[in-house]
Amino acid sequence: MNLKELAAELHLSQTTVSRALNGYPEVSEKTREIVLAAAQRFGYRPSPAARRLATGRAHALGVVFNAERNALMDPLFVEYLAGVAETSAKQGFDILISPSTPRDEIVTFGRLARDGTVDVVILTGPKVADERIALLSELKFPFVVHGRPPDPVGISFIDIDNFGAFQQATSFLIQLGHRRVMLINGEEHFTFAQDRSRGAAVAFAAAGLPSDMLDEHFMPMTAENAYRCARQALESDARPTAILCGSILVALGVLRAAAELGLEVPRDLSIVAHDDEMPAFPADQFHPQLTTTRSSIRAAGTRVAEMALARVAGQKPGAVAEVWPVQLIVRGSTAAAPEKG
Amino acid sequence: MNLKELAAELHLSQTTVSRALNGYPEVSEKTREIVLAAAQRFGYRPSPAARRLATGRAHALGVVFNAERNALMDPLFVEYLAGVAETSAKQGFDILISPSTPRDEIVTFGRLARDGTVDVVILTGPKVADERIALLSELKFPFVVHGRPPDPVGISFIDIDNFGAFQQATSFLIQLGHRRVMLINGEEHFTFAQDRSRGAAVAFAAAGLPSDMLDEHFMPMTAENAYRCARQALESDARPTAILCGSILVALGVLRAAAELGLEVPRDLSIVAHDDEMPAFPADQFHPQLTTTRSSIRAAGTRVAEMALARVAGQKPGAVAEVWPVQLIVRGSTAAAPEKG
DNA sequence: CTCAGCGTTCAAAGCGCTTTGGAGGTTTTA
DNA sequence: TAAAACCTCCAAAGCGCTTTGAACGCTGAG
């Protein structure tokens, strides 16, 4: 059943039926009701393709995702996607996933923007120098950012307070008496890694401690990388008594390193990790349960999708700039620093 | 630049240009080259929407994913999706993600099938009585299945050898002297859970052991559930000496239960888990490293996408029915059963 | 020399929807 | 009472592509 047939059935023109269905004011309430009822009865569903062609709007939202062999953000991504999906589905928006490797990500974005397959894209994990943002801005293609854009002016984004989270976590460790602290951070070119780095540094400065007590490492946040890094540090003479982990996965690697070296957590080593609340990977299911800085990646996904849809509906870029607070949850993986041996 | 303009530019008809671009034989090689070159030069890209409307084919592949609060398959899903994305991108197919809760999943599938938003859907996690399969079959909408359909006749699917994997793993434990074995399985209504159940049962039967030595539990495979279940069993008088885990997440919960009870793995308790190779969650990053039955969820995603595309290209349903072998990888979480106290 | 046959190209008709520019009919205003 | 102002509704023109049916020029057979 298409519009033409439905219109014929009702002895009305396509115009009127279309308008009735789409809530235009030029049609009387009475006919609208009749049309709506008939549409319902015949199970009429407008063809998305036709509508798309006629309006030039795709009614779809694009998400580019990293399909590289070892997609680091994997478990995060689904949870995030779930959030995005939830709200966009409510508004009848489709979600188009475009796989891409970091190398040709920029091409992928260009294609999305020019093809008209989607009306807006969501950009994740902004970098210190982000050419995707540059490209989309130049093309004047609507987009919103999940994370902190390097230059937020005129860009709608939502981010968690990475700075505050790591400042708080670091201060907490310092208060517990820890002096040699290691930070296993994400890759340097991500803005979130920079923010976290600054947070930790500021905490040290505030406590009047020299910044070289903070041993910071940037790397892709995998368990494997974290294991290697932690193992090496923990075997050294001046081993850290506390490790700040960029993610739960990092904590997994650190835990393994500690276990292998016979170090007990939290007696010999304190661990605090950032937790994005992946239900599959709950911080409280570890042994010991992990002290974390917690934020909901899913809620972020929900919000960023809302923003994207608002953007399509005409909201100005830069209208939204939210930074969500992050909560420190103290569990069993942190304790007072061990007495100096 | 659209087709009309390009055609005008070349002093050719739209027909010819269209055919040249789409590789139809009715156009001479010479003109084809000219057209291709011009298209390249002007950066012409056909409008997907228009093509879709004209051909009735969406050039897109649908994946329904569970956006329920605690999406259990989360970490699996991305890795799987990465596989799907990889191959479908190669063929220029878009991937449409439709969020859905289990409750209205069937509606979602119906909509996808009728709307023409996608040409084929991939169905994941088939159940013993699967109404999605019933619906799609009835609508004669192309689909392929990832996992084992209850009635595979006339259905293209790919699955891993869940039966063989768990038979092998169970036999291995029996050979190590384990007699009280627990199996923490997925939910009963999934075909994969049934297959695994049968695999374990057959191993016991083959060893001439009574089936009640196998303590089997069906549940959503979360760390939390597994923790509870394992904890309870390990505290009981006749505690199991080995636990078969349906997933790495399940193993996480079991490890925690063991640690809390002061049980050492593998001395006091052996663990073998099924591993779908999520790079984010590697079995060899645990302590101890986990003995696993391993299969690549990503490769499965790749293959199932290929199948889906073949299906669109006209391949008959039921043409593919692959069952992939699963390898048992012995690592540090298994050992001979403890002497009877 | 004519005509069938072939290889190329084209004009035009959709695909199913939205939207512009009116056209009728009814009500209000002067 | 006539004109202006509405309220409803409609015919038709796209949106940018594919595809059918036909036309064109050329070659080789009769």
Residue B279 touches partner A, C-beta closer than 8 Å? yes
Domain spans, chain B = 3-46, 60-160+298-324, 162-296
Q: Does A231 touch chain B (CB under 8 A)?
A: no
Give the nucleotide with minimal C1' distance to the Cα of A51: C17
Q: Please report which confidence band the pLDDT of residue A111 belongs to, taking 50, 70 and 90 as the band edges.
A: confident
Task: Name beta bridge partners: B50.
Answer: none
Give the CA radius of gyration of chain B. Answer: 25
Does the B162-296 domain belong in CATH 3.30.420.10? no
pLDDT of residue B146: 95
| Distance of alpha carbon A145 from alpha carbon A143, whole angstroms | 7
pLDDT at B225: 94
Distance C27 C1' – A91 CA (angstroms): 39
Which residues on chain B are in Cβ contact (under 8 Å) with A280? 71-72, 74-75, 222-223, 249
**pLDDT (0 to 100) of residue A278:** 82
Give me the residues near strand C, CB below 7 A.
A 2-4, 14-15, 18-19, 21-22, 44-47, 50-51, 53-55; B 11-16, 19, 26-28, 30-31, 50, 53-54, 56
Inter-chain CB proximity B89 and A67 less than 8 Å: yes
**Residue B154: predicted pLDDT:** 95
Q: Identify the residue whose Cα has the smallest distance to the C1' of C19.
A: A15
How far is it, in rounded angstroms, from Cα A156 to Cα A141? Answer: 13
Q: Which pLDDT band holds residue B169 (cuts at 50, 70, 90)?
A: very high
pLDDT band at A92 (very low <50, low <70, confident <90, very high): confident
The tokens for B251 are 């193993």
Q: Answer yes or no: are the C-beta atoms of B163 and B295 closer than 8 Å.
A: no
**Which one is predicted more confidently, B69 or A213?**
A213
Q: Tell me how many degrees the CA angle A200-A204-A205 measures, rounded to the nearest 5.
A: 115
pLDDT band at A59 (very low <50, low <70, confident <90, very high): very high
CA-to-CA dists, residue A10 to A2, A17, A26, A31, angstroms: 12, 9, 17, 10
pLDDT-above-70 percentage for chain A: 97
- Whether B99 and A116 lie within 8 Å, measured CB to CB: no
Instruction: Write down the pLDDT at residue A69.
Output: 54
The token pair at A164 is 């505050």
Can you give the length of chain B in residues? 341
**B150 within 8 A of B127, measured Cβ to Cβ:** yes
Task: List all nucleotides in chain C with at least one atom under 7 A from a protein Cβ.
Answer: 7-21
With the C-alpha atoms ordered A90, A54, B58, A44, is the resulting torsion angle positive or negative? positive
Mean pLDDT in residue range B5-15: 93
Examine domains A3-46 and A60-160+298-324 and report if their fold is the same.
no
CA atoms within 13 A on the CB side of A64: 27
What is the topology classification, in CATH, of domain A3-46?
Answer: 434 Repressor (Amino-terminal Domain) (1.10.260)
Work out the percent of chain B whose per-residue pLDDT is above 90: 79
Q: Residue B249: its chain A contacts at CB < 8 A?
A: 280-281
* A104 vs B33, higher pLDDT: B33
Determine the pLDDT at residue A285. 87
Comparing A58-67, B230-239, B297-306, B312-321, which segment has the lowest mean pLDDT?
Answer: A58-67
* Residue B163: strand pairing partners: none
Q: Which CATH architecture has domain B60-160+298-324?
A: 3-Layer(aba) Sandwich (3.40)
- Bigger pLDDT: B70 or A338? A338
pLDDT tens digits, A133-160: 999 999 999 999 999 999 999 999 999 9
Residue partners of B305: CB distance under 8 A and separation at least 6: B61, B83, B84, B85, B86, B87, B88, B122
Q: Is the CB of residue B252 less than 8 Å away from at least one CB of chain A?
A: yes
Q: Are B258 and B333 in contact (CB under 8 A)?
A: no
- Write out which nucleotides of chain D lie closer than 7 A to a protein Cβ: 7-21
Report the pLDDT averaged over residues B104-130.
Answer: 90
CB B144 within 8 A of CB B122: yes
In a 13 Å sphere around the CA of B21, the CA atoms on its Cβ side amount to 21
Q: DSSP string covering B136-152, please?
A: HHHHT--EEEES--SS-
Closest-approach residue (CA) in chain B for A73: B280
Of the listed ranges B70-84, B253-267, B281-295, the one predicted with least confidence = B70-84
Instruction: DSSP for A20-73, please give it.
Output: HHTT-TTS-HHHHHHHHHHHHHHT----HHHHHHHHS---EEEEEEE-STT-TT
Pairing of strands B157-160, B242-245: unpaired
Residues in Cβ contact with B142 at an 8 Å cutoff, skipping those fewer than 6 apart:
B119, B120, B121, B308, B311, B312, B317
Residue that is written with structure tokens 């499965």 in the block = B300
| pLDDT tens per residue, range B264-317 | 999 999 999 999 988 777 899 898 999 999 999 889 999 999 999 999 998 999
What is the nearest CA distance from B52 to chain A, expressed in angstroms?
A: 6
User: Do A139 and A113 touch, CB atoms closer than 8 A?
Assistant: yes
User: Per-residue pLDDT averaged across A259-275, rounded?
Assistant: 96
Q: B249 at the A interface (CB within 8 A)?
A: yes
A188-227 burial, b if ≥16 CB within 10 A, otherwise e? eebbbbbbbbebbbbbbeeeeeeeebbbbbbbebbbbbbb
- Looking at chain B, which residue has its C-alpha nearest residue A43? B114
pLDDT at residue B139 is higher than 80: yes
- pLDDT band at residue A131, thresholds of 50, 70 and 90? very high
* Å: A19 CA to D21 C1': 36
CB A49 under 7 Å to nucleic chain D: no
Picking from A299, A301, A306, A300, the residue whose alpha carbon sits closest to that of residue A90 is A306
> With contact defined as beta carbons under 8 Å apart, do A277 and A78 qualify?
no
To the nearest 10°, report the CA torsion of A62, A68, A73, A77: 30
Nearest CA in chain A to B301: A67
* Residue A259 in contact with partner chain B when CB distance is under 8 A: yes
Q: Write down the pLDDT at residue B320.
A: 95
Q: Give the integer Cα–Cα distance in Å for A325 and B167.
A: 49
Using CA atoms, how far apart are residues B2 and A237, in angstroms rounded to an integer?
68
- Residue B89: the pLDDT is 86
Residue from A218, A124, B134, B220 nearest B145 by CA = B134
Q: Distance between CA atoms of A117 and A96, rounded to whole angstroms?
A: 8
B285 to A69: CB separation less than 8 angstroms, yes or no: no
Best mutation target, A45, A65, A76, A81, to test chain B (most B CBs within 10 A): A81
| Choice among A162-166, B69-73, B197-201, B259-263 with the minimum mean pLDDT | B69-73
CB contact under 8 A, A49 and B53: yes
Instruction: Return the pLDDT at B215.
Output: 97
Tokens 């609507």, located at residue: A142
User: Is the pLDDT reported for residue A70 higher than 80?
Assistant: no
Interchain CB contact of B128 with A (< 8 Å): no
Provide the pLDDT confidence category of residue A231 given band limits of 50, 70 and 90.
Answer: very high
Looking at residue B297, its pLDDT comes to 87
pLDDT of residue B155: 97
Question: What backbone phi and psi angles, to 5 degrees, belong to B43?
Answer: 65, 35
Residue A211 CB contacts under 8 Å (≥ 6 apart), including other chains: A201, A204, A205
**Minimal Cβ distance to A282: which of B48, B111, B224:** B224
Mean pLDDT of all residues in chain A?
Answer: 92
Task: Report whether B157 contacts B150 (CB < 8 A).
Answer: no
pLDDT of residue B316: 93
pLDDT of res. B310: 95
> Are B96 and A96 an interchain contact pair (Cβ–Cβ within 8 Å)?
yes
CA distance A189 to B199: 48
Does A282 have pLDDT greater than 90?
no
How much is the pLDDT for B73? Answer: 55
Q: What's the average model confidence in pLDDT over B107-134?
A: 91
Q: Which residues of B touch A117 (CB under 8 A)?
A: 48, 94
DSSP assignment string, B46-101: --HHHHHHHHS---EEEEEEE-STT-TTHHHHHHHHHHHHHHHHHTT-EEEEEEE-
Using an 8 Å Cβ cutoff, are A14 and A50 in contact?
no
- If you average pLDDT over residues B223-229, what whole number do you get? 95
Q: Distance (Å) from CA A163 to C1' C2? A: 90
| Mean pLDDT across A310-332 | 95
What pLDDT does B214 receive?
Answer: 97
Q: In the structure, what pLDDT confidence band is assigned to residue B105 with cuts at 50, 70 and 90?
A: confident
* pLDDT at res. A86: 87
If residue B160 lies in a helix (H) or strand (E), which one and from where to where? strand B157-160
Beta bridge partners of B324: B160
Judged by CB atoms closer than 8 Å, whether chains meet at A97 and B98 is answered as no
